[in-house]
């Protein structure tokens, strides 16, 4: 409580407010980034102008933005589903890597060729990613084990698994001993738009996934159950929602989507299994930001993924054209996140004037039975 | 020959586990009070950087350590502000701090790379223990002071948490904040203090890296140790004494991945601690009746009086 | 009419003048931070020397910490900024460089440590195997436990060459010497390097060498007073008393040669298909020592002179002299002396190079075997 005002819990934040506040957070983050530019002797306005020029007004630059957004879209959409049910899947990074492993396995060893290969890779990647999420899901619904830790741990297991494979059993014979797998058969290499690196089949998948998840959430019983589990678990229990099946289903989809992102990376960009640090430049973790910034809205995740892809692509421009240090990108991402968090209270609370009679007991009148810490 | 391997593994495990233990102990206290801090890695690396800068400029590594601790505290204060006061999503707040901390440290640290620390922390030799036949020279001769201090702090923390009033307060705030509040405990203040304590410990852990273990500064030098410490805190079931064991286990696997390299692929050994953590969590959840194994009830939930 | 002609003339002069004044824009792409004090740092030293050498004729820029799959967008940016020559310094940049080279046929590309070329892509490499051999001679003489330690990054031919060279040198001085190897599977892993060094020392190693991008091994070995060899950049100041020698690289020799040939027209964007630099001691691209001009730290010279051998080639000679002699021989050329020259048998007993055979550069680039004396895991070892 501050003087004659107090923070009162808001009933529900309408979409206009949500987007407005999110936008404001992003703008504040950009302003802070501009200040950072100035600190390094780069004029902020000119800097942003260059960024826009090179990453949006330039066809190739724009293709890079979209390319980087693709894995963020897929993983991010999956995460919106999981987060809606408050299943905190921090394991998208590992699920992505496992999807890449499965796809590489199919490409290198399955003996398939021709037009069957790519779909098989995607199917395998989805399945593998889903399986990687299965363990944490089962542990949570059956034993109540914290999914944040289990999914996080499996990220590391996945990293070391990939490293072991590319240094050991799957090491390529054609690269004079360097730690990569063999190059994939051309049938396993996804087509791209023109000479850019935009592998459009995966992009299409991402958009379809977003639409599918949005439809699931809004129009099916499953989606309704997911949302109820997230907003009010007690009510869900009363209503007889099968937590076991629903959680399993949503985690499988969420983790599978991240697996698809991994397939896209190996089939669309690298065309071989490479080391984890090159395969995923933190996509699984950035996808968390994507999902949260989109307020767990799958279609919104497409937009926020583009935004974060833009930040990453801008990082290159910042280094080359603006001569800024390479660490700027990480700092900018962190600033965006911090601003998002800082903006949350505006969505959950509003300042209301205390009528003179009421005493400063601090008890909010008629608070709903809502869990602390979340919006929608 | 095998005893030599066992002894040297324990010795190296002690050294490698030191930053893990310090950071994990801090995280244990924070989580016991109900606040998750995913920002440990960011706080560690910021601590490592400031510790190095201060030590390099002043010539005194212990002064650097103080600076490292202070930096960790400052970063933790930010996390506490977001997570406890603003009641934002604790996981996101911590994650943001880590991303930001890694980037910021890289940025500021540019001017400090590549020089060794001119006055690093030295090894100490424990006076009587080092004379114990066979075991003494291997275990007690070649370790840093912070290693031994970490063990002492762990035991002290265990005692405080289990057997003192302060410990009870912290634990209650984590288990049932509403009850604590009703009993007059300043819940928010306790949580903030616990989080800041966690930051201090993380800062010291980072300082250990740049002032003793590898006396220099390099971008990203924490290399994921903060995340491991996070896992360890849970693997240890939020108990400082078990944290010692967990830290040694992680340390042992790490050093074994090198000494056993001709027998096992190193990546498979390095994977083990993470799998073990999942195993440990599973096992404890299986023993549902035993309350002492569980996570603090209110872990991860911001507290606001009057709200459920 | 005359004014128009005069105007046109002056325009012509002006434009040709600016054309000549336009400095050649040379860009460098590093895989790590310049401050890594190792690989990327050494390349940047080369860049700085290059800039100094050519002054106003060229303009250099660099980008650092570029993840390998991201090299193409960076190349796009650099070309958009007018780069004429682009050097990519890591093996992993290859795919991106080759793909970008096709899109920018007028730009000249250099693929550092690379293995494939194109009309506008040349490859270049400065290799240390000879210097590691010299280091091995020194190590073999200084070790009292007959066990040497080597902390290695990845089991790729380049690193294997280094280890084998080191072992060949050590065994020439001490036939009982053993080189224990531990792998990090990473170019940058300070904690791993520390623990690997400790594990090696626990296994008895008392002289240490490494291929890893930090000075951790030096610091860790110094804690027990063990000598070590500096790698890539001058790491002497991390332990002035225990760093006995090392390997130094002079990328500037290669960069200056390439840029000179670009400036005088020898290299164009269409004739680089066969241009491959595999530069060694004889080209001045690498140097023995932990700091330039000092092949062996003065404090250790006496110890080396105290070890006298009955050498098959030189008769009675002390190790310090041997090191200098071999250095001089290899600086003359590979045909004069090469540690890998046949007859050479690997540690499993297979003959790899017959008597009188001098391995070609291609042989060396694809080297996978381990020589006798190397102890430890060795991925992809030929049966």
DSSP assignments along A276-331, one per residue: HHHH-SSHHHHHHHHHHHTTT-HHHHHHHHHHHHHHHHHHHHHHHTS---TTHHHH
Q: Give the tens place of pLDDT for each residue, B220-253.
A: 788 788 988 988 888 788 899 999 998 998 888 8
Q: Give the tens place of pLDDT for each residue, C113-165.
A: 888 899 999 999 999 999 999 999 999 999 999 999 999 988 888 999 999 99
Which helix H or strand E contains B143, and what residues bound it? strand B143-144
Tell me if the domain spanning C23-126+251-283 has CATH number 3.40.50.2300: yes
Let me know: does C374 contact C179? Beta carbons within 8 Å.
yes
**Is beta strand C207-210 parallel, antiparallel or unpaired with respect to B143-144?**
unpaired
Q: Give the tens place of pLDDT for each residue, B244-282.
A: 998 998 888 888 888 888 788 888 888 888 888 788 778
- Chain C residue with minimum CA distance to B6: C202
**What distance in Å separates the CA atoms of residue A86 and residue C319, rounded to the nearest whole number?**
70
pLDDT of B64 above 90? yes
For residue A357, the model assigns a pLDDT of 56
Query: Across the interface, do A274 and C69 touch by the CB < 8 Å criterion?
Result: yes
Residue B103 resides in a domain: yes
Instruction: Give the structural domain span for B167.
Output: 2-121+140-289
User: In this complex, how many residue pairs, one in chain A and one in chain C, have their CB atoms less than 8 Å apart?
Assistant: 82
Find, among A259, A238, A226, A203, the residue nearest to A82 by Cα.
Answer: A226
Residue B27 resides in a domain: yes
Tally of domains in chain B? 1
For residue C174, the model assigns a pLDDT of 94
Task: State the residue for tokens 């005692």.
Answer: B159
Let me know: does C64 contact C47? Beta carbons within 8 Å.
no
Q: What share of chain B is helix, strand, coil (3-state, %, to 5)?
A: 75, 0, 25
ipTM value, please give it: 0.80
CB-nearest partner of B281 from A149, A364, A373: A149
Let me know: does C307 contact C174? Beta carbons within 8 Å.
no
pLDDT of B10 above 70? yes
- Class assignment of domain C129-249+285-375? alpha beta
**What distance in Å separates the CA atoms of residue C236 and residue C330, rounded to the nearest whole number?**
25
For residue B290, the model assigns a pLDDT of 45
Q: Which chains touch C (3 or more CB pairs under 8 A)?
A: A, B
Domain boundaries along the sequence of chain C: 23-126+251-283, 129-249+285-375
For residue A371, the model assigns a pLDDT of 36
pTM tops 0.90, yes or no? no
Residues of chain C with pLDDT under 70: 1-21, 37
For residue C3, the model assigns a pLDDT of 62
**What distance in Å separates the CA atoms of residue A279 and residue C69, rounded to the nearest whole number?**
8
For residue C4, the model assigns a pLDDT of 66
Find, among B283, B192, B214, the residue nearest to B242 by Cα.
Answer: B283
pLDDT in tens, chain A (376 residues): 455 566 666 666 677 887 788 888 889 988 998 998 888 888 888 888 988 888 888 888 899 999 999 999 999 999 999 999 989 898 999 999 999 999 999 998 888 888 889 899 999 999 999 999 999 999 988 888 878 888 988 998 999 999 889 888 888 776 566 778 888 888 888 888 887 888 989 999 999 999 999 999 999 999 999 998 888 888 888 888 888 999 999 999 999 999 999 999 999 988 889 888 888 888 998 898 899 888 889 999 999 999 989 988 888 888 888 888 888 888 888 888 788 888 877 777 776 676 665 445 444 443 333 333 333 3
Residue B295 resides in a domain: no
For residue A368, the model assigns a pLDDT of 33
**Is beta strand C308-311 parallel, antiparallel or unpaired with respect to C315-318?**
antiparallel
Residue B305 resides in a domain: no
Confidence of residue B40 (pLDDT cuts 50, 70, 90): very high
Let me know: does B6 contact B138? Beta carbons within 8 Å.
no
Residues of C in contact with A274 (CB under 8 A): 68-69, 92
For residue A134, the model assigns a pLDDT of 95
CB-nearest partner of B103 from A88, A90, A327: A327
**In this structure, what token pair is assigned to residue A229?**
């589990």
Residue B161 resides in a domain: yes
For residue B302, the model assigns a pLDDT of 73
C104 and chain A in contact, CB less than 8 A: no
Residues of C in contact with A323 (CB under 8 A): 61
For residue B3, the model assigns a pLDDT of 78
For residue C105, the model assigns a pLDDT of 94
For residue B308, the model assigns a pLDDT of 42
pLDDT of B28 above 60? yes
Task: State the residue for tokens 């003087």.
Answer: A3
Let me know: does C120 contact C271? Beta carbons within 8 Å.
no
Q: Residues 6 or more apart from C266 whose CB is under 8 A from it?
A: none
pLDDT of B42 above 70? yes
Query: Across the interface, do C35 and B218 touch by the CB < 8 Å criterion?
Result: yes
pLDDT of B78 above 70? yes
**In this structure, what token pair is assigned to residue B188?**
């928010």
CA distances (Å), B71 to each of A3, B56, B200, in order?
A: 32, 16, 8
C119 and chain B in contact, CB less than 8 A: no
Confidence of residue B1 (pLDDT cuts 50, 70, 90): low
**What distance in Å separates the CA atoms of residue B128 and residue B58, rounded to the nearest whole number?**
33
- Chain A residue with minimum CA distance to C101: A195
For residue C2, the model assigns a pLDDT of 67
Query: Across the interface, do B223 and C219 touch by the CB < 8 Å criterion?
Result: no
CB-nearest partner of C223 from B4, B123, B225: B123
Residue B43 resides in a domain: yes
C216 and chain B in contact, CB less than 8 A: yes
Tell me, what CATH number does B159's domain have?
Answer: 1.10.3470
**In this structure, what token pair is assigned to residue A168?**
């050991």
Residue B131 resides in a domain: no
Q: In chain A, which residues touch C (CB < 8 A)?
A: 54, 58, 60-61, 64, 163, 167-168, 171, 176-179, 195, 197, 269-271, 274, 277-279, 281, 313, 316-317, 319-321, 323, 326-327
Phi-psi category of residue C194: left, alpha or beta, with phi > 0 → left and psi -120 to 50 → alpha: alpha
**In this structure, what token pair is assigned to residue A242?**
């099968």
For residue A189, the model assigns a pLDDT of 86
Residue B298 resides in a domain: no
Distance from C12 to chain B by nearest Cα, in Å?
47
Find, among B95, B85, B93, B97, the residue nearest to B303 by Cα.
Answer: B85
* Dihedral sign, Cα of residue C84, residue C90, residue C91, residue C96: negative
**In this structure, what token pair is assigned to residue B80?**
């506490």
B49 and chain A in contact, CB less than 8 A: no
**What distance in Å separates the CA atoms of residue A285 and residue A290, rounded to the nearest whole number?**
9
């Amino acid at each position: 409580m501050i003087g004659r005002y107090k923070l009162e819990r808001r009933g529900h934040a309408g979409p206009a407010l949500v987007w407005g506040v999110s936008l404001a957070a992003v703008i504040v983050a950009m302003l802070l980034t501009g200040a950072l530019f100035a600190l390094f002797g780069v004029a902020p306005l000119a800097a942003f102008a260059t960024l826009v020029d090179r990453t949006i007004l330039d066809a190739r630059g724009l293709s890079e933005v979209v390319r980087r957004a693709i894995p963020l879209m897929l993983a991010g959409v999956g995460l919106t589903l999981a987060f809606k049910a408050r299943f905190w899947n921090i394991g998208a990074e590992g699920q992505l890597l496992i999807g890449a492993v499965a796809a590489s396995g199919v490409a290198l060893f399955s003996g398939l060729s021709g037009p069957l290969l790519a779909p098989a890779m995607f199917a395998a990647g989805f399945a593998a990613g889903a399986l990687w999420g299965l363990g944490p899901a089962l542990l949570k619904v059956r034993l109540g084990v914290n999914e944040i830790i289990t999914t996080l741990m499996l990220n590391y297991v996945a990293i070391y698994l990939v490293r072991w494979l590319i240094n050991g059993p799957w090491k390529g014979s054609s690269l004079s001993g360097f730690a990569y797998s063999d190059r994939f058969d051309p049938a396993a290499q996804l087509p791209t738009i023109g000479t850019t690196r935009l592998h459009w089949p995966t992009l299409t998948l991402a958009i379809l996934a977003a639409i599918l998840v949005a439809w699931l959430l809004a129009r099916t019983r499953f989606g309704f159950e997911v949302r109820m589990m997230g907003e009010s678990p007690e009510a869900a229990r009363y209503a007889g929602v099968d937590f076991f099946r629903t959680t399993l289903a949503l985690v499988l989809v969420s983790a599978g989507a991240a697996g698809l992102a991994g397939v896209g990376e190996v089939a669309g960009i690298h065309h071989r299994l490479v080391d984890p640090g090159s395969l995923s430049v933190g996509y699984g973790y950035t996808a968390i930001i994507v999902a949260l910034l989109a307020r767990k809205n799958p279609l919104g995740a497409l937009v926020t993924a583009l935004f974060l892809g833009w930040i990453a692509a801008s990082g290159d421009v910042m280094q080359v054209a603006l001569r800024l240090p390479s660490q700027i990108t990480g700092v900018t991402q962190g600033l965006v996140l911090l601003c998002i968090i800082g903006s949350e209270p505006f969505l959950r609370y509003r300042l209301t004037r205390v009528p003179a009679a009421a005493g400063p007991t601090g008890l909010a009148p008629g608070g709903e039975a809502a869990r602390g810490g979340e919006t929608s | 020959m095998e005893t030599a391997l066992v002894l040297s593994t324990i010795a190296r495990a002690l050294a490698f586990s030191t930053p893990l233990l310090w950071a994990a102990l801090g995280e244990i206290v924070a989580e016991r009070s109900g606040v998750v801090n995913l920002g440990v890695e960011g706080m560690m690396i910021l601590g490592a950087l400031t510790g190095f800068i201060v030590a390099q400029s002043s010539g005194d590594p212990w002064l650097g350590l103080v600076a490292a601790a202070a930096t960790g505290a400052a970063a933790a204060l930010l996390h506490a502000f977001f997570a406890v006061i603003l009641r934002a999503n604790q996981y996101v707040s911590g994650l943001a701090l880590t991303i930001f901390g890694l980037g910021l440290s890289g940025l500021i640290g540019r001017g400090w790379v590549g020089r060794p620390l001119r006055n690093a922390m030295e090894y100490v030799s424990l006076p009587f223990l080092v004379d114990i036949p066979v075991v003494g020279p291997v275990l007690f001769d070649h370790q840093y002071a912070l290693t031994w201090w970490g063990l002492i702090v762990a035991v002290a923390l265990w005692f405080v948490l289990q057997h003192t009033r302060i410990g009870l307060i912290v634990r209650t705030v984590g288990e049932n904040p509403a009850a604590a509040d009703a009993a007059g405990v300043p819940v928010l203040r306790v949580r903030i203090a616990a989080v800041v304590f966690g930051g201090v410990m993380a800062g010291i852990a980072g300082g250990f890296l740049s002032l003793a273990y590898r006396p220099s500064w390099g971008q990203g030098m924490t290399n994921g140790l903060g995340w491991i410490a996070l896992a360890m805190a849970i693997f240890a079931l939020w108990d400082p004494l078990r944290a010692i064991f967990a830290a040694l286990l992680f340390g042992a696997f790490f050093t074994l991945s090198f000494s056993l390299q001709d027998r096992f692929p190193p990546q498979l050994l390095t994977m083990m601690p993470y799998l073990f953590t999942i195993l440990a969590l599973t096992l404890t959840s299986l023993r549902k009746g035993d309350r002492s194994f569980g996570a603090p009830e209110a872990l991860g939930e911001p507290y606001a009086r009057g709200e459920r | 009419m005359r004014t128009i002609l005069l105007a046109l003339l002056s325009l012509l002069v002006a434009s040709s003048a600016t054309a000549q004044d336009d400095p050649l824009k040379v860009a460098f792409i590093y895989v790590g931070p310049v401050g890594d004090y190792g690989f990327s740092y050494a390349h940047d030293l080369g860049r700085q020397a290059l800039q100094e050498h050519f002054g106003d004729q060229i303009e250099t820029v660099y980008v650092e910490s570029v993840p390998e799959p991201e090299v193409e967008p960076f190349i796009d940016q650099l070309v958009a900024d007018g780069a004429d020559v682009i050097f990519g310094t890591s093996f992993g940049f290859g795919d991106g460089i080759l793909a970008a080279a096709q899109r920018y046929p007028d730009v000249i590309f250099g693929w550092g440590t690379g293995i494939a070329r194109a009309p506008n892509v040349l490859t270049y490499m400065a290799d240390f195997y000879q210097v590691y051999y010299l280091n091995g001679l020194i190590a073999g003489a200084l070790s009292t436990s007959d066990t040497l330690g080597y902390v290695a990054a990845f089991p790729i031919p380049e690193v294997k060459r280094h280890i084998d060279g080191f072992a060949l040198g050590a065994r020439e001085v001490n036939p009982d010497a053993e080189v224990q190897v531990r792998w990090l599977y990473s170019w940058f892993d300070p904690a791993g390097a520390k623990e690997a060094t400790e594990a090696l020392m626990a296994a008895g190693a008392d002289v240490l060498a490494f291929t890893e991008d930090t000075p951790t091994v030096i610091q860790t070995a110094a804690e027990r007073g063990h000598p070590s060899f500096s790698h890539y950049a001058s790491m002497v100041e991390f332990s002035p008393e225990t760093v006995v020698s090392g390997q130094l690289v002079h990328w500037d020799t290669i960069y200056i040669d390439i840029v000179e040939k670009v400036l005088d027209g020898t290299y164009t964007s269409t004739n680089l298909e066969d241009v491959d630099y595999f530069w060694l001691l004889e080209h001045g691209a690498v140097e023995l020592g932990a700091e330039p001009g000092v092949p062996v730290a003065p404090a250790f010279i006496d110890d080396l002179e105290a070890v006298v051998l009955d050498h098959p080639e030189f008769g009675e000679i002390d190790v310090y002299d041997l090191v200098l002699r071999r250095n001089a021989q290899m600086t003359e050329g590979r045909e004069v002396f090469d540690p890998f020259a046949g007859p050479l048998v690997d540690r499993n007993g297979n003959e790899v190079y017959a008597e009188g055979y001098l391995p070609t550069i291609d042989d060396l680039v694809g080297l996978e075997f381990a020589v006798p004396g190397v102890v430890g895991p060795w991925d992809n070892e030929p049966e």
